[in-house]
A = this chain, B = another copy of it.
Amino acid sequence: MSNKIWISIDAMGGANSPNAIIEAIDKFLKTCNDVNFLLYGKKSVILPKIIDFNFSENSYKLVDSEVIISDEDKPTEAWRNGKNSSMRKSIEAIKNGEAHAAVSCGNTGALMLTSKMVLGTLDHIKRPAIAAIFPSINNNGTVILDMGANLECNESHLFHFALMGTCFAKIILKIDNPKIGILNVGEENTKGRDLELKTYKILEKSGLNFHGFVEGHDIVKGKVDVLVTDGFSGNIFLKASEGAANTFIDLMKNSINSGNLLTKMAGLLLKSKIKASFKIIDPNKNNGAMFIGLKGIVIKSHGSASVDGIYNAIDTAYKLTKNNINTKITEELDIFEKNGTGLNFVDKLKQTSAKILGIKNT
């Protein structure tokens, strides 16, 4: 590798591939001069687009890969049959030292399994998680993890999520000492399941910037910078918010479109104002979830992300590489291991909780 940052891209993944992906790369190359791209996908489809955009010869390498993982493929199938896929090759590029980070708009489950199998997890980390930024109105957004990689977790996993989320928020949200919360059904420290109560006890003593429990309706208000929860609850939280947001947009559109000429004109008048105000919760702005806890930086973009959305996912990969997120996570973990306060404390609790909850001690 040259001393430039190399980002490998699965150019065939997602609804808008490869066009939006090539356009986003072009846009990124124009704003950033220390990055190069490794593109994986069908050469016959991709090359003409690259020629259209007139990429400089040194800024990219294109590797032909005929196999494409579709959104319908099961993760295990994708792993079994995907040896020569653009997705697998883009991840292997990290392992082989050809790329610093990978970005894909493809099948989430397949990408997670492929990344785990190819890269493996960081030392001490048992469960890599999906960390994404949820929009909020009073801060720059809230890093939520896990968004769905681990449906069932124990308090030790959630402690690791808090630590990894803190490193992520420092780099991406540019906050010195991110405030951490645990998603719960109430704010009082007596509320919640065993999982929340035990995680509370660990975080309280961890020395991290722990705020306490946060309820679902307060996340969007930006009460904390990092929110930890199990992957089931994180996924339910995200999709419930999505459902409500989309319904509101639809109802608003309908009430304007079904009206008379005057209401339609009023709608037009308000459109730009509403758009500007709603920018804060534009999913493309925060696009780019990290599979955090792996030996490598893998960024998952929304499957239907726009050019700007994919640009932001690339930017996330670039910033996390530039700021050595994984070195920072490992350093933080080492401190907890050595000081014997954090992880040893966690380990004891873990053994107890494993007995009580019957959760496998992984």
- A residues with CB within 8 A of B: 137, 148, 151-152, 183, 185, 192-194, 215-221, 231-233, 235-252, 254-256, 258-259, 262-263, 265-267, 269-270, 273-274, 276-278, 280-281, 355-359
Given contact pairs A219-B243, A244-B248, a sample of 14 additional A-B residue pairs in the complex whose CB atoms are under 8 Å apart: A152-B193, A216-B236, A216-B242, A217-B243, A219-B240, A241-B243, A241-B244, A251-B274, A251-B278, A251-B281, A255-B270, A256-B270, A259-B270, A267-B270
Least distance between A362 CB and chain B CB atoms (Å)? 15
Whether A247 contacts B281 by the Cβ 8 Å rule is: yes
Chain B contacts for A355, CB-based, 8 A = 358
Closest to A273 in B: B255
Chain B contacts for A273, CB-based, 8 A = 255-256, 258-259, 263
**Count of this chain's copies in the oligomeric assembly:** 2
Which 6 residue pairs are nearest across A and B when measured between Cβ atoms? A358-B358, A216-B239, A217-B243, A266-B266, A255-B277, A244-B244
Name the prevailing secondary structure of the A interface residues: helix
Bound: A216/B233 CA distance, A: 11
Interface CB pairs A-B, < 8 A, 14: A137-B250, A151-B185, A152-B194, A193-B232, A216-B239, A217-B239, A217-B243, A233-B233, A237-B240, A252-B277, A255-B277, A263-B273, A357-B357, A358-B358
Bound: A218/B246 CA distance, A: 11
Partner of A252, one of B217, B240, B252: B252
Chain B contacts for A249, CB-based, 8 A = 248
Bound: A266/B262 CA distance, A: 9
